[in-house]
């Protein structure tokens, strides 16, 4: 009978792409990983890894084995979820990963609600941007993640992950109330020469915001490159740089900023995601409910006015 922990290890090597990566996420030494996999090779009587360059690659047999492992792990999670559901109260521990603006806004509210409704449930919150959160979810590092998708950058739905929409969060342009860029622009193109603060281009936020500017006919001058939404809000408030800001930030963080609706009323789509096996786990259900409740009670800021579609 195959050893399940070793199968998990192989699974993780497959995900991470190298023994070293797997060792890192599982807090092992690379040597330990190597040896465990050697044992697995002996157990199965099959070569599972083959050297390629200075790394390794999974053999076809190993890849099929990983596919089976995924099914087995999912099945185990379903079993665990069912056991937990049979309990009278929601208890245990759950680890949630969310990106910055979610950690700033909905997460505290949701966590309060969870602490109130399920005192026996320990919720750990970890800030992680979408891609990292997703990888961590697959690696069983997190149990639930909050992810976001920007218009035109929708993630493909992947097998084994259950995704539920949490919120459609309008995206606004943020201008200072006073100073050079506080005047009402006719279209986005009027802001072609303004200084901007945007997320790094590699992130989906950054890519989207640059695309918006390019659509309007200009390449933004990125004065401050940061993915801290509070910093962006502050720069917009003080007039140092214009920003795209999500409505979710709420009245507190958006105070003193002129909110301008964008053409086409774009929004980012927030969703909660779990591994399919845990969908019915009571802790997951409770978390999702808490987050849904939190966004429902969030007071969303309306824009002061909305830009007409500019010339492209």
Task: Summarize as ranges the residues that interact with DNA (CB under 7 A).
Answer: 3, 5-6, 18-21, 27-32, 34-39, 49, 51, 53-56
d(C-alpha 147, C-alpha 97), whole Å: 9
Q: Which of a copy of itself, DNA, none interacts with 65 (beta carbon under 5 to 8 A by kind)?
A: a copy of itself
Q: How far is the CB of 152 from DNA (least distance, A)?
A: 32
Strand extents, DSSP E, 128-208: 144-149, 161-176, 195-198
If one counts every other C-beta atom within 10 angstroms of the C-beta of residue 42, the result is 9
Q: How far is the CB of 14 from DNA (least distance, A)?
A: 11
Q: How far is the CB of 281 from a copy of itself (least distance, A)?
A: 13
**Positive or negative CA dihedral for 184, 185, 188, 193?**
negative
If one counts every other C-beta atom within 10 angstroms of the C-beta of residue 18, the result is 15
Backbone angles phi, psi at 87, to 5 degrees: -70, 150
d(C-alpha 135, C-alpha 146), whole Å: 12
Q: How far is the CB of 13 from DNA (least distance, A)?
A: 7
CA distances from 264 to 91, 151, 309 (A): 44, 11, 7
Tokens of 129: 């941007």
Q: How far is the CB of 80 from DNA (least distance, A)?
A: 17
Q: Which of DNA, a copy of itself, none interacts with 271 (beta carbon under 5 to 8 A by kind)?
A: none
Q: Which of a copy of itself, DNA, none interacts with 161 (beta carbon under 5 to 8 A by kind)?
A: none
Q: Which of DNA, a copy of itself, none interacts with 19 (beta carbon under 5 to 8 A by kind)?
A: DNA
* CB closer to DNA out of 52 and 308: 52
* CB closer to DNA out of 31 and 238: 31
- Residues forming contacts to a copy of itself in the complex (CB under 8 A) are 1-2, 4-5, 8, 44-46, 60-61, 64-65, 68-69, 71-72, 75-76, 78-80, 82-84, 86-87, 91-92
Strand partners, 258: 175
* Residue 140 · residue 154 · CB < 8 Å: no
Q: Which of a copy of itself, DNA, none interacts with 87 (beta carbon under 5 to 8 A by kind)?
A: a copy of itself
């Amino acid at each position: 009978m195959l050893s399940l922990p070793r199968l998990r290890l192989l699974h993780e090597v497959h995900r991470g792409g190298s023994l070293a990566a797997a060792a890192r996420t599982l807090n092992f030494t690379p040597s330990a990983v190597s040896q465990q996999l050697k044992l697995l090779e002996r157990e199965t009587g099959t070569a599972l890894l083959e050297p390629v360059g200075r790394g390794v690659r999974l053999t076809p047999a190993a890849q099929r084995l990983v596919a089976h492992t995924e099914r087995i792990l999912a099945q185990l999670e379903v079993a665990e979820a069912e056991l937990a559901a049979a309990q009278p109260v929601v208890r245990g521990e759950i680890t949630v990963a969310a990106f910055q603006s979610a950690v700033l806004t909905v997460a505290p509210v949701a966590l309060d609600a969870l602490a109130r409704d399920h005192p026996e449930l320990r919720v750990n919150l970890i800030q992680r941007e979408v891609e990292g959160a997703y990888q961590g979810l697959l690696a069983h590092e997190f149990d639930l993640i909050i992810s976001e998708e920007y218009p035109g950058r929708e993630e493909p739905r992947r097998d084994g992950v259950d995704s539920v929409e949490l919120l459609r969060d309008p995206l606004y342009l943020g201008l200072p109330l006073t100073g050079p860029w506080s005047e009402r622009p006719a279209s986005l193109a009027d802001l072609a020469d303004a200084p901007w603060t945007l997320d790094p281009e590699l992130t989906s936020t950054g890519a989207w915001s640059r695309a918006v500017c390019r659509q309007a006919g200009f390449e933004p001058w990125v004065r401050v490159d940061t993915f801290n939404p509070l910093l962006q809000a502050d720069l917009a408030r003080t007039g140092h740089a214009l920003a795209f800001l999500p409505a979710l930030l709420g009245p507190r963080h958006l105070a003193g900023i002129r909110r301008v609706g964008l053409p086409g009323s774009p929004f980012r789509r927030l969703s909660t995601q779990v591994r399919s096996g845990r969908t019915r786990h009571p802790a997951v259900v409770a978390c999702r409910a808490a987050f849904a409740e939190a966004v429902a009670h969030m007071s969303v800021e309306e824009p002061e006015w909305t830009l007409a579609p500019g010339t492209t």
